[in-house]
Structure 1
Amino acid sequence: MSKPTMRTVTINMPKEYEYRQLHFMYQTIQLFTIKKYVDMSPDDFDFDLHIEDLFLYKGILSCDAQTGEVSTYYFPQYKVLNLSSSQNTSTLFYLAYSDDYRMLYCYKRDLEAEVDQLVFTQDISDAYEPSINRVWSVHHFYSLNERYALIAYLLPGQQRGYNYALIDALEQTMIPFVPNDMIRNIDCIMGFNCNGTEYLLIKTGEHMVHERKIDWEYNRPEVEQLIVIAVDEFISNVQSSDIDLSDFVIHSSQSHEAFADLLILDQQLIILVERFDTEDSLVMLYTVDNQKTEYISYPHVYNKLYHLNQIFYATRKSDTSTRLYKLHTGEQITEILQPQGVVTMIEEGIITIDQRLGSEDRQFYIYNDQGCTLWTEDCAWIDYKQRFILKIKQG
């Protein structure tokens, strides 16, 4: 077996819980959710009987890749249903309900100070018959900084048209606002830091690449944009009801294009665009500081980008394999047969995993000059920048 050369921390956790990586990473700290483990394999599994165990969070596990420190926090509130994501702050916002689902509570937790604060309470008992099936359906929930969070949600019975609001922890309130089409079509939000300033990268348009290709073939254009805006400026705009972010759009995909992948490297965003009409790829390099953009065309359709030792690589997928190329030269590096798929590249080789949906094989493999060997197992998280591996063993 080819042993990983990264620093590895192994922790033992109770078997009755399951742990999942949360889309929340601040600097070198990654969060994981803690839920009760539910065996759904029996043929007579009763979903309604276990619905609270499936959806309610018991707590969070945090891991610092720089120090290797791991800590767990179990919520004192029993019915915690929604957690915020973020890459901009060490503040986690979360929503909890009373035992009878008649009261909604919004909290924030300072992960560094390890302190919780109740932000606001809302009586929802008059709106509907309370139950876990009749709660807010949260679409977006993002911590902007230690004071503010953005939330988009549907009320029970509401079929479309998400409600948007800015949560203000200092004023202990929620400030609703009416989104324009651009905000309404947000697909995902990412955060990054450039020269000490916190930014948001917002993608609009909810269709995946293959869906956009079908839309193009049937002449059904959908707007897809990338927006870069400083966190403080975004908050200020929302507070002043100026939610038109057109001036912050760095690229709008045409109907024959789709965003395929994105890398954030220091002060630059590297964006991969697939073009359906010419069956090739466009790489966009956007420098945040001076807002300059450079475009480079490549004569193949690539699916994903990788970066190692100042060299860009890209993959092309087929039904049988994944081929890895040097992006600038088009030189093929290797071919990896299904069901293995590329996770990332490190100095020692190419890291892969079984990418079939529902696969129970969660072992990581490494491809290099010595062939393919098992690299690590029982892995919960790998921080390639910090060269750190977290393993969670349960028993």
Structure 2
Amino acid sequence: MGGVGAALPHEARLASPKLASRIDAIAPFYVMELAKEAALLERTGRRIIHMGIGEPDFTAPEPVIAAATEALRRGVTQYTGALGITALREAIAAHYASVYGLSIDPARIVVTAGASAALLLACAALVDRDDEVLMPDPSYPCNRHFVAATEGKPVLVPSGPHARFQLTADDISRHWGPRTRGVLLASPSNPTGTSIAPAELERIVKAVRARGGFTIVDEIYQGLWYDARPVSALSFGDDVVTVNSFSKYFNMTGWRLGWLVVPPAMIGAFEKLAQNLFICASALAQHAALACFEPETIEIYEARRLEFKRRRDYLVPALRQIGLSVPVMPDGAFYVYADCRGAPHPAAGDSAALTKAILHDAGVALVPGLDFGSYAPRNHIRISYATAYPLLEEAVARLGRLFGR
């Protein structure tokens, strides 16, 4: 007699529910797979220099830690409103005024559980089933997966060095079709570290607007600029949706905190989605993030930005000297997108094989272009300089020995 706790037949125990078909549209994340392989080597005693994962080696500065400690002491750890605490939304709006000269109504700011939640909310609000969304190729892989997860169809447009690996207004004219709903851009970009020139970004916004579409711009790396001061896409109209994060410039990756700026007419829709999908972002992280905008903290962040620039200015010429071509100088973020076809190595031109060889033979973790789209992914590798300057020097020396340079 079967009863509570009775063993199930063998066939029943092996049965598994059918997975949703959307899983098939999500490709493996090679960055994380390579990180696991590097971790295995480290467990054998190898010393690996990590230049793969895009995470600042800096962590939250002391004023942010102190604000988090004080928030814990005061017990402000319960749910917040779905759009975020008022003080933080006001601080973010003030930051736009200070840095970009923009007057942004705090009501338009939606605080999220990281930029990933922000992108998911944006796609959930704007993308219907089978809607096509244009984005550059190469681009951050999760961006296309957010579109696919909301049953849209990402359309990757080949974007080479001639366009700084970015989408152009002319691309929109050529690729906009009857099912196209909008564009999803990133400036500066992961994996290339390149930004869209302000005049071109304005042309893109106007081209999309003329077609009744949406423009989503991922600006999570915009605080990390090294040449010309950046211009936010918000400068070109309040119909643009922008995504930002406390992870990169503010060095708070594991705190999982980001934000959106949304058009005034969409605030209610985003709030309803946020309430149902996430309830709210971390209350502790929100109260800690208030300290990010204090003058003493901004001074720390600006010093760190200049350190990233120093690393870039060392690394790009060094890579070129040992045989890795850098066709476009990155002007933001902390990535170099290098063409590996001319590398003095038998695996040159096959980024997957080359990065594996570099990991095992030189102890340096880099990322093949396979994650980032279909535009010549085996010709390119992504190199992160979000690691200490002495380690960059050691990594270049190891690569030079491997390449016989």
Q: Scaled by the length of structure 2, what TM-score is found?
A: 0.26
Higher relative contact order (CA 8 A, sep 6+): 2
Structure 1 length-normalised TM:
0.27
Higher helix fraction (1 or 2): 2
More strand by share: 1
